[in-house]
Amino acid sequence: MRIWLFTLGLSSSLVYGQDDGLAGIDWSSQYHQQQFSQGDHQSLKIALQPWLMWRDWQLYAELAYEYHHYTSSDIINRNGRLVRLLPRLNKTKIVYSELDSEGMGDIAVGLSYRLIHHEQVNSLWSLDYKHDNGDFAIGLGTGSQDLSLQSVWQYQQQAWRWQAHIGYSTIHSTQAASLNTEASMYFWGVGLQHPLAEYSTIGLFYNDQSAPYRNAPDPSYWRLQLNTQVHEQLQLLIAHSQYQTETPDLPSSEQKIALSWVW
């Protein structure tokens, strides 16, 4: 199965600061287009992302309203609302030739702590929780409650930036038809970035994780990524991901284009 992903996003933020604290509300709009071997999927997401920062602590959340249009009879795996890939315990089987759905997606909240902030070394620890309020039956949610602990490290060596992360997730399925109600897994990844020009960087990343349940497909993948600051407030991201395993549950490759505007 091959999946093509196109993302166009616009975002801005409202910020309020006082003493050592800083609070803000970001909003973003994204359009996704995916093409599967037996269908396609288009979606539009408008997200509100409030956050509160105090010294090295940050509390954040995401509330999203989504619209989805499916034309498929294939099995599509819904992934968690986190940066990495989270295989679901429940597979979403789209049995309709066409399906439209809209409504609130899963709500996510998190707390992060900046352990080390140095010119060469940075370390960030985070605890994230994703709720299951989105309607799983029509593709608005993942049908599970996820709790994840993650540690991210960065090291700057002249023009090169090395990055590594490791974490642990527990997944609780809330679907009555699910054979597996509980699962857990470790995940990790490494990456390397280098500037191409004054306002552009290129990076290569590798991500993998342990199997969250028996006979789960290998979700490891490589990602080549280009970041460009088009304007003072306008940024462009282009990425290509190549997955290591050919399976109907996962894409074989993925492309992403994201455009963001921050006030």
Of residues 220 and 85, more confidence is placed in 220
Domain count for the chain: 1
Q: Is residue 198 part of a domain?
A: yes
Q: Is residue 208 part of a domain?
A: yes
Q: Is residue 26 part of a domain?
A: yes
Q: Is residue 194 part of a domain?
A: yes
The string of pLDDT tens digits covering residues 172-223 is 988 766 556 788 889 999 999 999 988 899 999 999 988 877 777 778 889 9
Residue 81's pLDDT band (cuts 50, 70, 90): very low
* CA-wise closest residue to 112 among 127, 134, 97: 127
pLDDT of 96 higher than 80: no
Q: Is residue 109 part of a domain?
A: yes
Q: Is residue 202 part of a domain?
A: yes
The string of pLDDT tens digits covering residues 129-161 is 999 998 888 888 888 899 999 999 999 999 999
- Give pLDDT, residue 127: 97
Residue 74's pLDDT band (cuts 50, 70, 90): low
pLDDT of 1 higher than 50: no
Q: Is residue 138 part of a domain?
A: yes
pTM of the model: 0.76
- Give pLDDT, residue 106: 92
Q: Is residue 1 part of a domain?
A: no
CATH number of the domain to which 205 belongs = 2.40.160
Residue 157 structural domain:
6-261
